[in-house]
């Protein structure tokens, strides 16, 4: 597991899913949006053409997603989830008391979780940075974006099963 924070760990399944999404957006997705823009353009005055503006907005979002996926896949480290050793690291599932509430979440990139209901925290988030490298039973605190100091107790660290 690389410790470089610019590297994103992905399961093989997540890598394949994201690669397929990139391929679809880059090919048929671009053709479809270009067709929508052309059809809307043919309707006349572009200043008051809501269909044209909506299609251009959709195109912008699609191109941003394509750039995001290209960057993510370029930096991806593909493999199995790290075997839990009781230490918080990218790709592990954490059970922790956060401000007194027990929470279960994955440390990693949101793309790892796919359609699962898991909460995902980036290793670069305030919570992620505070707990990376901690062992079961450890206590720490971090400052939330709102300025509040939040206490975290690590209860369990498990291997991500992909679900």
- Indicate the burial class of 117 (C-beta count within 10 angstroms; 0-12, 13-18, 19 or more): exposed
Q: Note the pLDDT of residue 1.
A: 37
Tens-place pLDDT, residues 27-73: 999 999 999 888 888 877 777 788 888 888 999 999 999 998 998 88
Q: Which residues of 72-90 are buried (b: 16+ CB within 10 A; e: fewer)?
A: bbebbeeeebeebeebbbb
Average pLDDT over residues 15-20: 89
Q: Where are the domains of the chain?
A: 8-78, 92-159
Average pLDDT over residues 85-111: 88
R_g (Cα) of the chain, nearest Å: 20
* CA 15 to each of CA 5, 92, 93: distance values in angstroms, whole numbers, following the listed order: 18, 17, 19
Q: With a cut of 60, say whether residue 140 has pLDDT above it.
A: yes
- In angstroms, the CA 129 to CA 64 distance is 27
Q: Note the pLDDT of residue 131.
A: 95
Q: Which residues contact 126 (CB under 8 A, 6 or more apart)?
A: 142, 143, 144, 145
Tens-place pLDDT, residues 102-135: 999 998 877 776 667 778 898 889 999 999 999 9
Q: How many CB atoms lie within 10 A of CB 162?
A: 14
Contact 92, 81 (CB under 8 A): yes
Percent pLDDT > 90 in the chain is 41
Q: With a cut of 50, say whether residue 20 has pLDDT above it.
A: yes
Domain over 92-159 is classified CATH 3.30.530.20: no
* CA 35 to each of CA 52, 65, 69, 109: distance values in angstroms, whole numbers, following the listed order: 11, 19, 23, 33
Q: How many CB atoms lie within 10 A of CB 127?
A: 21
Average pLDDT over residues 138-145: 92
Q: With a cut of 50, say whether residue 4 has pLDDT above it.
A: no
Q: Note the pLDDT of residue 10.
A: 79
Q: Topology of domain 8-78, per CATH?
A: Helix Hairpins (1.10.287)
User: What rounded mean pLDDT belongs to the chain?
Assistant: 85
């Amino acid at each position: 597991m690389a410790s470089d924070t610019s590297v994103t760990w992905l399961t093989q399944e997540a890598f394949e899913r994201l690669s397929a999404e990139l391929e679809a957006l880059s090919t048929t997705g671009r053709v479809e949006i270009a067709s929508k823009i052309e059809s809307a353009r043919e309707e006349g005055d572009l200043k008051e053409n809501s269909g044209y503006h909506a299609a251009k907005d959709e195109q912008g979002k699609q191109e941003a997603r394509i750039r995001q996926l290209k960057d993510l896949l370029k930096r991806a480290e593909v493999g199995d989830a790290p075997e839990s050793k009781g230490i918080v690291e990218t790709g592990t599932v954490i059970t922790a008391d956060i401000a007194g509430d027990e929470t279960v979440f994955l440390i990693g990139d949101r793309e790892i979780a796919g359609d699962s209901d898991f909460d995902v925290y980036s290793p670069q988030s305030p919570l992620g940075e505070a707990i990376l490298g901690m062992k079961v039973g450890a206590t720490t605190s971090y400052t939330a974006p709102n300025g509040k100091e939040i206490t975290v107790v690590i209860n369990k660290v498990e291997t991500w099963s992909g679900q």
